[in-house]
Chains A and B, each alone.
Chain A
Amino acid sequence: MSGIKPPLEELKRQEGLECLKDHFPFGIFPKGAIHEFMCSEPRDMAATGGFIAALIHSVFHSSGTIIWISAAKNIFPATLQLFNIEPSRIIFIHPSSSKESLWVIEEALKCNGLHAVIAEMNELSFVHSRRFQLAVESSNVTGFVMNMKTEKESTTACLSKWKIHSLPSETIGDMPGVGFPRWKVMLTKMRNGKTGQWEVEWRDGKMVHVQQENLDWLDETLHQQTG
């Protein structure tokens, strides 16, 4: 990564990521790279999917084609409209085995002209992550890999590593109902950038950093849960 240059024209184009951008190299979410999302628990799947959709909206401005590779056929495309991503721009591919899945992901990542590839995998080994990273370096596709491995984490060649959990939402005062979706975002690796953790809300097409005071309370509860 020596000699990396910031792509200037994009500086202004990534809206809605202001709260996270200090931790990205040059303050820009890196395109044309593989980002890994750890989903060790099935209940994090929806939150991670939502966060990725929010990222895609901020980085690509709801244009371009996206391929979503998933063995489970449980994604409801209409919901992505809530992230200003037109669902008909997404092509869903459901491979039946992990071998097929690897082949499809690699082919998709090699395809010029795609914007993003979202892949759900049961396990991501170092060799595969390296292959994916090499594939995107020439095609400039951005890959989001959800790694659903439940045991210990392994080293991968991905540019970044994230963990997303759902958090209880908050409403103003005593208002009834559910507030804006809120996530705990943990960035445990970012090449040329910094790690960090935030509590963010998806509000009006933007990621909004929630104030610090709640975070301490949250850390404690999470600590209790995960040990």
Chain B
Amino acid sequence: MQHRYVSIWFRYLKTDWYLRRHPDIKSQPFVMYLLQNGKMVITAVNALAEAQGIFAGTVLADARAIHPGLIAEVDQPEQFQKLLLKFGEWFIRYSPVVAIDAPDGIIIDTSGCTHLWGSEEKYLNDITLRVGGMGYTVQTAIASTIGTAWAACRYSKDKIIKDGEEFKSLSLLPASSLRINESTLESLHKLGLRYNKDFISMPVPALRRRFGNDFVIRLHQALGLEMEWIEPITIIPPLQERLHCLEPIVTRTGIEIALHKLLEIICDRLLKEQKGIRLVCLKIFRVDGITQSIEIGTHRPSNNKQHIYKLFEIKLQTIAPALGIELFVLEVLKVEDHQPEQEKIWMANAELRAAPLALLIDRITNKIGSDKIHRYLPDEHYWPERSIKEALSLTEQSTVSWPVYKPRPLRILIEPELISVTAPVPDYPPMFFRHNGRMHKIKKADGPERIEQEWWLQEGLHRDYYYVEDEEGCRYWLFRLGHYDPEKKVEWYLHGYCF
């Protein structure tokens, strides 16, 4: 079968991308630069800057000499690789075989595709129009070999090269259209061979001896004498299942059956791939055009049908079928590796990593929200409020151990409450304190335990903590802020209730 290839060149890929986001500088010369050997070297220019005579490779300072008001931005090469990949995925609408042609092009194998657009000309026009509509300047060409399409795209006015005309069209183009490296190009120029027509008919052994095998391969690939392969982009099929209903579903039983069916297919697939669901969304499409969705998340990757069904079950009542549901779509939004575990018969020594606990936490999270579930780990701080930190997952363990404490309250007040006290002697616990309008007479006390401010985090006074017991036997944790000072009134606070 005869192959046809389209080469696409984003002439101003980087600057177009930037100007799309900053339309206000569209009508001004704009460049992007990178720091190379201590110089700011321009890596991309827009059409207006190019018209001023600024090209990629110029030092920014020189370019500023040409055009003082030049706008410049730092280049991020990795980002444009991603952008190109996204474009590649987008171009799959034109043909299933699309490859990236770094740094700023795309190659499409259009064999047997162009007739769907009417003709090759309409096919190319469609690409130019649609990509142009997105704000990108694009040049295209179609030919029977990748090399010719590439050359024509960048160097020729003739964009459609018919099969067998590669030689004719290539001859007119400069030598740089052959995708050869800089040094070969330089030696060609040195010999005065500036255009392809100057050397294209020379005997192959002579060319190979002088310019190397790579050069000959490139030439032959462009002429179609040698095969060239592209590496097509593969798109991972989304983990999505659809269920069309012949009759609109209006009952809960119907919805449950549909959900069961979808989960069975998805979970079986995940089981084979050894993956587990972390986030999954059920979308329902109603007859009257309204879409509803419910989303559930899990704490551990799971491909257990019953468990995920149970999580959905809590939220199923939010679905209003009205006149009926015609389509169910179950889409897995996030998966993680899931190694099947051998079920233990004995569950007595349950650990935090035990499956039933994770399932319970999932159910609670989906019902009341994850912000209401907490687990704490020790943190290396003296300040009581900072001495614990929240664990991010059920299995997270701390590298520090829990400190062996001096008296601490079981119930802490999130904000210490101001109390009025009678303290007879400086640096002694108070005799009485009043909290919430109630007088407590202190019988016994321990302390003080001084906890200093962590100056690298926060400025302020230290706290002197006392563990006190009142006449009724209730135990409290009080502190005095700062040193005792006869001149000023010292503030005392209640910070917690001890057991």
Contacts and interface: CB of A to CB of B under 8 A. Distances in A.
Interface of A: 43, 45-47, 49-51, 53, 63-65, 72-82, 86-96, 100, 103-104, 107-108, 111-115, 165-169, 171, 176-179, 181-182, 202, 225
Nearest to A81: B402
Interface stretch (B44-52, B334-342, B367-375): B367-375
12 contacts: A46-B497, A47-B499, A49-B410, A64-B350, A78-B376, A88-B376, A91-B373, A92-B376, A94-B373, A95-B372, A176-B444, A178-B475
B350 A45 contact: no
A46 B359 CA distance: 31
Contacts of A91: 361, 373-375, 394
A76 B402 contact: no
Contacts of B347: 112-113
B181 interface: no
B331 interface: no
B68 to A, nearest CB: 61
B397 A88 contact: yes
Chain B facing A: main interface SS? mixed
Contact of A166 (B407, B446, B473): B473
Contacts of B364: 93, 104, 107-108
Interface string B347-387: 10111101011011101100110001111111000001001
Given A81-B405, A82-B405, A93-B372, A46 B473 contact: no
Interface stretch (B90-98, B132-140, B419-427, B463-471): B463-471
Contact of A79 (B354, B367, B405, B443): B405
B204 to A, nearest CB: 74
Nearest to B407: A178
B35 to A, nearest CB: 47
Given A65-B351, A103-B367, A88 B410 contact: no
B236 interface: no
A178 to B, nearest CB: 5
Contacts of A80: 410
B398 A88 contact: yes
A35 to B, nearest CB: 17
Contacts of B352: 65, 89
A76 to B, nearest CB: 4
A100 B468 CA distance: 37
Contacts of B471: 168
A133 to B, nearest CB: 19
B230 interface: no
Contact of B410 (A72, A75, A86, A90): A75
Given A87-B376, A88-B397, A171-B444, A95 B387 contact: no
Contacts of A53: 410, 499
B444 A177 contact: yes
A158 to B, nearest CB: 22
Given A64-B350, A177-B445, A178-B469, A107 B360 contact: yes
B360, B410, B467, B472: residue with the most chain A Cβ atoms closer than 10 Å: B410
Nearest to B378: A78
B408 interface: yes
A200 to B, nearest CB: 12
Nearest to B376: A77
B388 interface: yes
